[in-house]
Chain A
Amino acid sequence: MLARRIIPCLDCDLGVPGGRVVKGIEFKQIRYAGIPWELACQYYEDGADEIVFLDITASHERRETMTGVIKKTSQSVFVPLAVGGGINSVEQAREVFNAGADKITVNTSALKRPELISEISDRYGNQAVVLAIDAKRRYVLEEGRHIVQTEQGPCWFECSFYGGRQFTGIDAIAWASKAVSLGAGEILLTSMDRDGTYDGFDIPLTSAVAKKVRVPVIASGGCASPQHMLEVFKKTDASAALAASIFHFGEWNVRNVKTYLKERGVNVRI
């Protein structure tokens, strides 16, 4: 049986040589966490099942910095590496794969031009394309939306792009489905309501998307403790849990999070 994966996420500011890992709260207030490849090595040693690098600067000139980070990381980190941020063509994806990435994640570029998903998956396979969705709860219900029951009442989820700075009007659950049909092999699902809040994953959102699609769903946003991971694995079909702050700021490491989960019956790789 497949293990539930624990994935540390490195939000990378590539405006400085070698880049730096930062963490925002609700997509704002930035805090400095370390050097990307160093953190990646540490998380790998601690037992991370995969590592995600997101270029939050997402600009063309910074892509070389990112490929440098991936090249260096892949010399000593032997688990899958996923890279995202500003990739909007097969050519750009190729640069990242050639640096040693196993998967690329797309978000804004795919919302603007969904065919990008097929273009990359046709060349590199579905397993290499992760669709990242930043979803926000909307309690004003509209016709044709996927309605999800929450403790705060029924809502639908709207996709955001440009790193949470703009909204699309697109239903996140419908978009997840469509992206999978276009060739996305995995969904990285971030709750904008929970990201950086330390309140735990958005369980109704994660559950709804994991039920809707037949590809792995990575729950993201709001994780501050192993209890939150336990909750998302017990209450939803999420294949993986992604977290940043919990690992960056020393509260927990990957190893003791996994031990905690295993002791409570979650199938994780120790």
Chain B
Amino acid sequence: MTIAIVDYGMGNLFSIYNALDYVGGSPKIINEPDELAGVGGIVVPGVGAFGQCMDRLCRFEGALNSARDCGIPIFGICIGLQVLFEGSEESPAARGLGWIRGNVVKLPTSVMVPQMGWNSLSIKRPVEMLQGIEEGDMFYFVHSYYAQPEDKSLIAATTEHGVDVTAAVARDNLFATQFHPEKSGAKGLRILENFVRALRC
């Protein structure tokens, strides 16, 4: 089953491509919304600013909505998690996909911003995508903003950086991480492997 990596022009997709390939997935970088038809899973990567991401992602919005409604597994990474929310303090004028109610806010000034480096997960509830991941396992984060879902029960894991930072959210066929699984060594690969496995079910 093909995994579409949505290329909306926001940077390096090689890492996620290589990582999915490494764990036995069949990734394909796609540049056009109609290429999302018939894929087994979708990865929404992202670097850069929220508004800029949404500007470029908006032409995929319809296709992404349909895929979500069809139950196709969707994996958001970093800004790819943040765009699932309604909006962000980073770009107040921009509107997110709004799939999850809540907003994205700036990390507190009491800590180093951006958070850049390895931080440990606190697992809030067991989800399939975090199979094989244990409390305290470390993942690689690079971000200045973090998501605050209205429904806290959607949070699958948090990490501590001045505040409890949403590290992973999960709902139905939707899963997203603030950290970069493709840069998080064997544990990150395990999550991507869980994703590849979910497509085959």
Cβ contacts under 8 Å, A44 to chain B: 185
Interchain CB contact under 8 A, B12 and A100: yes
Interchain CB contact under 8 A, B117 and A3: yes
Taking the complex as formed, is B140 at the interface, i.e. its CB lies under 8 A from any CB of chain A? yes
Taking the complex as formed, is B11 at the interface, i.e. its CB lies under 8 A from any CB of chain A? yes
Cβ contacts under 8 Å, B182 to chain A: 78
Contact of B138 among A98, A124, A126, A269 (CB under 8 A): A269
A134-149 residues with Cβ-Cβ distance < 8 A to B are none
Taking the complex as formed, is A80 at the interface, i.e. its CB lies under 8 A from any CB of chain B? yes
Taking the complex as formed, is B154 at the interface, i.e. its CB lies under 8 A from any CB of chain A? no
Contact of B116 among A79, A124, A216 (CB under 8 A): A216
In terms of DSSP, what is the predominant structure of the interface of chain A? loop
Cβ contacts under 8 Å, B140 to chain A: 79-80
Which one of B14-22, B27-35, B56-64, B65-73 is at the interface?
B14-22
Cα(A126)–Cα(B49), bound, Å: 11
Query: Given known contacts A76-B22, A80-B140, is B118 in contact with A102 (CB within 8 Å)?
Result: no
How many of A's residues come within 8 Å of B, CB to CB? 32
In terms of DSSP, what is the predominant structure of the interface of chain B? mixed
Contact with A along B1-28 (1 / 0, CB 8 A): 0000000000110110011011000000
Cα(A2)–Cα(B165), bound, Å: 12
Nearest-Cβ distance from residue A160 to partner chain B, whole angstroms: 26
Return the chain A residue nearest B114 by Cβ.
A127
Interchain CB contact under 8 A, B117 and A100: no
Nearest-Cβ distance from residue B40 to partner chain A, whole angstroms: 22
Query: Given known contacts A2-B161, A3-B138, is B15 in contact with A78 (CB within 8 Å)?
Result: yes
Taking the complex as formed, is B194 at the interface, i.e. its CB lies under 8 A from any CB of chain A? no
Interchain CB contact under 8 A, B116 and A3: no
Nearest-Cβ distance from residue B160 to partner chain A, whole angstroms: 6
Taking the complex as formed, is B98 at the interface, i.e. its CB lies under 8 A from any CB of chain A? no
Cα(A186)–Cα(B114), bound, Å: 10
Taking the complex as formed, is B115 at the interface, i.e. its CB lies under 8 A from any CB of chain A? yes
Return the chain A residue nearest B111 by Cβ.
A2
**A-B pairs with lowest CB-CB distance, top 5:** A269-B138, A3-B118, A2-B117, A100-B14, A269-B118
Given A49-B117, A78-B182, A100-B18, 7 more A-B residue pairs with CB atoms under 8 Å apart are A1-B119, A2-B112, A5-B117, A71-B14, A100-B14, A269-B118, A269-B138
Q: B-contacting residues of A (Cβ < 8 Å)? A: 1-3, 5, 44, 47, 49, 71, 74-76, 78-80, 97-102, 124-127, 185-186, 214-216, 239-240, 269
- Contact sample, A vs B, 27 pairs, CB 8 Å cutoff: A1-B119, A1-B161, A2-B112, A2-B115, A2-B118, A2-B161, A5-B117, A47-B185, A71-B14, A74-B14, A75-B21, A75-B22, A78-B15, A78-B185, A78-B189, A79-B184, A98-B12, A98-B14, A99-B14, A100-B14, A102-B12, A124-B11, A126-B114, A127-B114, A185-B114, A240-B117, A269-B138
